[in-house]
């Protein structure tokens, strides 16, 4: 598996490449957003590690273009800790983010988790999920594979980011039960202390869009004004 590192700081890129190589991942490096877009169209990468602050384009613009062209997983590197950057990045379809300064070990761990989810979904795109992986608490319409961190709807594996998976899995634990935004924040965004409750609404929106592709006639996620969200079996 080859990973594309897009960062204009050689020291950071070298650190990432070394950490990835030590864990069995090959990598290539470029410094410009336009070059990254061109490379992804002509070469086979498993994932893009994308710096938000690039000399020619913002990482958000690059991610937006990549999402138009491909479903390749994207992990943002950001020097900004404010909520706006995080929400915008995840709304654009990024699978995860790591704030600078970061631990190479943590970054590799996040890369590994993203690739595990991505490869599990690709390998099972046209196959019905095995019944043994379904969690008993899930509704019949959904099946949850906790080990693979993936969820199937109507027998089709959904392409979910890390937090989309965790949010949907949390709702599916108790179908019909209303969970407040605060409860969802506590259970899903356990390690994102600065994240605000509006992030829940953002991810509910992207989840609904993805579920609409499988269930065009109904929306299983129910909004309870002033209370929170539930999922309808």
Whether residues 8 and 81 share a domain: the answer is yes
Instruction: Assess whether 112 and 210 both reside in one domain.
Output: no
Residue 174 confidence class, pLDDT cut points 50, 70, 90: confident
| DSSP codes, 169-202 | HHHHHSTT--B-HHHHHHHH-TT-TT--THHHHH
* Residues 204 and 140 reside in one and the same domain: yes
Work out the average pLDDT over 129-135. 45
Tens-digit pLDDT profile for residues 25-77: 999 999 999 999 999 999 999 999 999 889 999 888 899 888 888 888 899 88
Residues 56 and 101 in one domain: yes
Judge if 111 and 7 occupy the same domain. Answer: yes
Pairwise CA distance, residues 161 & 69, whole Å: 17
pLDDT value, residue 192: 54
Find the CATH number of the domain harbouring 148.
Answer: 1.10.10.10
What's the pLDDT at 136? 43
Tens of pLDDT, residue by residue over 178-226, are 888 888 888 887 765 555 667 888 888 888 888 888 888 888 999 888 8
Q: Are residues 100 and 134 in the same domain?
A: no
Is 131 in the same domain as 209? yes
User: The tokens of 17 are what?
Assistant: 């490449």
Q: Distance (Å, rounded) from C-alpha 85 to C-alpha 61?
A: 12
The tokens describing 18, both together, are 């070394």
User: 138 with 51, same domain?
Assistant: no
102/146 same-domain check: no
Q: Which two tokens stand for residue 93?
A: 């379809």
- 90's CB contacts (< 8 A; 6+ apart) are 97, 161, 163, 199, 202, 203, 206
Same domain, 75 and 150: no
Looking at 95, 119, 143, which one is the last position of a domain?
119
Assess whether 19 and 113 both reside in one domain: yes
Per the structure, the count of domains in the chain is 2
Q: Using the 8-state DSSP alphabet, how is residue 123 labeled?
A: H
Q: How confident is the model at residue 161 (pLDDT cuts 50, 70, 90)?
A: confident
User: Which residue range(s) make up the domain with 185?
Assistant: 125-231
Please tell me the predicted confidence (pLDDT) of residue 94: 80
How distant, in Å, are the alpha carbons of 8, 50, 78, 153 from that of 29? 9, 10, 17, 37
Q: What CATH number has the domain bearing residue 20?
A: 3.40.50.2300
Q: How far apart are the first and last CA of the chain?
A: 38
């Amino acid at each position: 598996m080859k990973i594309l590192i897009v960062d204009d700081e050689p020291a950071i890129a070298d650190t990432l490449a070394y950490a990835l190589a030590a864990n069995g991942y090959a990598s290539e490096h470029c410094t410009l957003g336009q070059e990254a877009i061109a490379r992804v169209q002509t070469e086979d990468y498993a994932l893009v590690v994308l710096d938000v602050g690039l000399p020619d384009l913002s990482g958000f613009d690059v991610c937006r273009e990549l999402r138009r062209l491909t479903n390749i997983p994207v992990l943002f590197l950001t020097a900004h800790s404010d909520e706006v950057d995080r929400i915008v990045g995840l709304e654009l379809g990024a699978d995860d983010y790591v704030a600078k300064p970061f631990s190479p070990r943590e970054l590799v761990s996040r890369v590994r988790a993203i690739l595990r989810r991505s490869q599990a979904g690709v390998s099972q795109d046209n196959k019905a999920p095995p019944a043994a992986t379904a969690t008993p608490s899930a509704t019949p319409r959904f099946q949850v594979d906790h080990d693979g961190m993936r969820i199937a709807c109507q027998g089709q594996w959904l392409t979910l980011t890390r937090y989309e998976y965790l949010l949907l899995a949390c709702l599916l634990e108790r179908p019909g039960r209303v969970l407040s935004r605060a409860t969802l924040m506590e259970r899903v965004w356990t390690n994102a202390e600065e994240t605000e409750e509006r992030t829940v609404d953002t991810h509910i929106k992207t989840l609904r869009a993805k579920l609409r592709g499988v269930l065009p006639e109904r929306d299983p996620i129910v909004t309870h004004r002033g209370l929170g969200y539930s999922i309808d079996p």
